[in-house]
Amino acid sequence: MPRVICVGECMIELRERPDGLLSRGFGGDTLNTAVYLARLGTAVEYATALGNDPHSEEMLRAWEAEGVGTSLVLRIAGQLPGLYLIQTDQEGERRFSYWRDHSPVRRLFDLPDTPRIETALAAADVLYLSGITLSLFPGSSRERLFGLLEAVRMRGGQVVFDTNFRPRGWPDRDEARVAFGRALKLSHTVLAGVEDFALLETECTADQLLRRLRDAGVVEAVVKLDEPGAIVLSGESEAMVPVPEAVTPVDTTAAGDSFAAAFLAARLSGASPRAAVLAGHRLAGTVIRHPGAIIPRDAMPTDLSAPQGAPVTP
C-alpha cells in the first residue's frame, strides 16, 4: 500500500471540567487523521516540529505506540508545543483559546535539517495536509510547501487537501483565499466542507463549491454538506452519499479527521469513491459517540462496510 505523509501540528490540549479543574491531552487535525490511518492499517508518517521538553517526548512516544512514523519530526531545543484550552457552555457548545504563535512547527521549513524533510515530502506517495496546515507557516515557508506539493504531483504522487478553515489562524481572509486557491490547484483529492468555504468566502453553496473544485482541476473530491451527507465527485461523475445511520453525538471532535482517514484508507485499498465515503461516514459516526478526538482502540469498528452499533454513553 502507498505510504502517506501527514503534515501539521499537534498541541497540548487542556479541557476544562465542570468542577473547574483541567484534564490534559494532545490534539491536532492532521495528527488525528494520521492516528486513524495507522489504526486502519495504512503506512503513515507525521511531519512536524516539536521541542525537546517532556511534553514533546510524551507526544512522540504516544504516536509511535499508535504505529505513526516519527522519523520526520524535527526537535528544537528550548521550544515548547502549542497549547489550547477547551471550555464548554451549558448547551454543550465549545470555545477554544490558543497559545501557539511561537510553536516549533512554524519553523519546520527554516531549520538545518529542513532539506531532509523536504526530500521526504517530495517523494511521498500521498501527501496529506489541511487548511490549518497552510495557516501554520509564514509566506516564504508556505511557498516552500507549495513547491513540495507541485513536486509530488509532477512525479505522479497524490496531494490530499482537507479544507479545514479556522479564521483565527489567518491574519485576514484574503491571504487565506489565495492560499486555498493554490492548494486546490495542486491537489489530486480534496475533502471540502461547505461550512469551511461559507466562512472563507462569506457565502457558498454546494453547487458553487463543486464548480470551484472542477475549475481547479481536482481529480476527486468529497463535498461535506451542512446536513448529514456528502457529495462525491470523481472525474465527470457526481453522486450524493447520505449518512447511513442517524447518530446522536457525544463529542464531535475529530469527526472530519476520522472521516478523512477512513476515506483515504479505503481508496488506497481499492474501494470505490462511494464506498470510501460510506467508510468515512461510519468511522466518524463511531468517533462522535465517544468523548475526545482519539477513541479507545477497542471502540474502533471492525468493519467499515456495515453500520456500527448503538450509541454509547459518555
Indicate the pLDDT class of residue 245, thresholds 50, 70 and 90: confident
Q: Is 161 helix (H, G, I), strand (E, B) or coil?
A: strand
Report pTM: 0.93
Predicted local confidence at residue 244, as pLDDT: 83
Nearest alpha carbon to residue 254 among 5, 10, 2 = 10
Indicate the pLDDT class of residue 93, thresholds 50, 70 and 90: low
Q: Check 89, 257, 298, 303 and give the catalytic one.
A: 257
Task: Respond yes or no: is residue 257 known to be catalytic.
Answer: yes
If one compares 296 and 251, the residue with the highest pLDDT of the two is 296
β-pairing verdict for 230-234 and 237-241? antiparallel
Indicate the pLDDT class of residue 235, thresholds 50, 70 and 90: confident
Contact between 121 and 5 under an 8 Å Cβ cutoff? The reply is: yes
> Tell me: the pLDDT tens digits for 194-205?
999 999 998 899
pLDDT at 307 over 70: no
Predicted local confidence at residue 313, as pLDDT: 33
What ranges in 136-188 are assigned the alpha helix state H? 139-154, 173-185
Summary mean pLDDT of the chain = 91
Q: Average of pLDDT values for 226-231?
A: 86
In order of their start, the domains of the chain are 4-10+29-81+102-297 (3.40.1190.20)
pLDDT at 258 over 90: yes
Predicted local confidence at residue 304, as pLDDT: 86
Q: Average of pLDDT values for 145-162?
A: 98
How far CA 226 is from CA of 47, 52, 300, in Å, comes to 31, 41, 26
Indicate the pLDDT class of residue 94, thresholds 50, 70 and 90: low
pLDDT at 310 over 50: no
Q: How far, in Å, CA of 9 to CA of 133, rounded?
A: 7
The amino acid sitting at 244 is P
Strand residues in the chain grouped as ranges (E)? 4-7, 11-16, 22-27, 44-51, 73-76, 83-88, 94-99, 126-130, 158-162, 189-193, 220-224, 230-234, 237-241
Q: How far, in Å, CA of 278 to CA of 268, rounded?
A: 15
Residue-level length of the chain: 314
Q: How far, in Å, CA of 36 to CA of 208, rounded?
A: 31
> Tell me: the pLDDT tens digits for 39-65?
999 999 999 999 999 999 999 999 999
Q: What is the DSSP letter of 243?
A: -
pLDDT at 126 over 80: yes
**What is the grid cell recorded at 238?**
457526481
